[in-house]
Amino acid sequence: MPFLENIEYDHLLEEFKSVLRKNSLKFTKQRETILKTLYNFPGHFLPEEFYNLIKKNEPNSNIGIATIYRTLNLLEESEIVTALSFGKNGKKYELANKPHHDHIICKNCGLILEFEDKSIEKRQKEIAQQNGFELTNHIMQLYGICPKCKRKKIGI
């Protein structure tokens, strides 16, 4: 049970519990399993991928797909997970407790890299202000061809 000794995870768990309390929601086995899985599997998952991941790794949990959708929505609203939406697919979810970052995505193989850039963030804030907006968050995705696919000379 490495989780019980993991400060980072414990912190996350407390944050989630706090959100639940504030909204008079309940802390359930399913919600805990979902959070734990998000923590243990860094990456970007569609709800369905997530569902399968949990079925495989927590065979006894028996979580319904509806609960996956419900919980991911809840976690997104609480800003504990971030949703990425691109391409033909629906939204992909990832834990938001890491420092903010954006994504570079390979149009050929779907590889996703993460990066962050303070100078861009700063400009974004300025631009929002210039337009009278109060900036809450942003999405930035760079698309291109990754080194591997470039070598393979695969066009799009």
Q: How far is CA 59 from the centre of its chain?
A: 23
Read off φ and ψ for residue 46, nearest 5 degrees.
Answer: -75, 155
With CB under 7 A as the contact rule, the residue among 69, 97, 128, 140 that binds DNA is 69
Point out which residues pair with 106 in neighbouring strands: 144
Which of the listed partners (its own copies, DNA, none) does 24 bind, with a CB threshold of 5 to 8 Å by partner kind? DNA
Which residue, 14 or 42, has its beta carbon nearer to its own copies? 42
For the CB of residue 129, give the shortest distance to DNA in the complex, in Å: 31
**Location of structure tokens 């080194």:** 147
Which residue, 32 or 76, has its beta carbon nearer to its own copies? 76
The amino acid that residue 104 corresponds to is: I
With CB under 8 A as the contact rule, the residue among 110, 142, 152, 154 that binds its own copies is 142
What contacts 146, CB < 8 A, 6 or more positions away?
106, 108, 109, 111, 113
Number of residues that bind DNA (CB under 7 A): 27
Interface contacts to DNA, rule CB under 7 A: 20, 24-31, 46-48, 61-67, 69-71, 73, 88-91
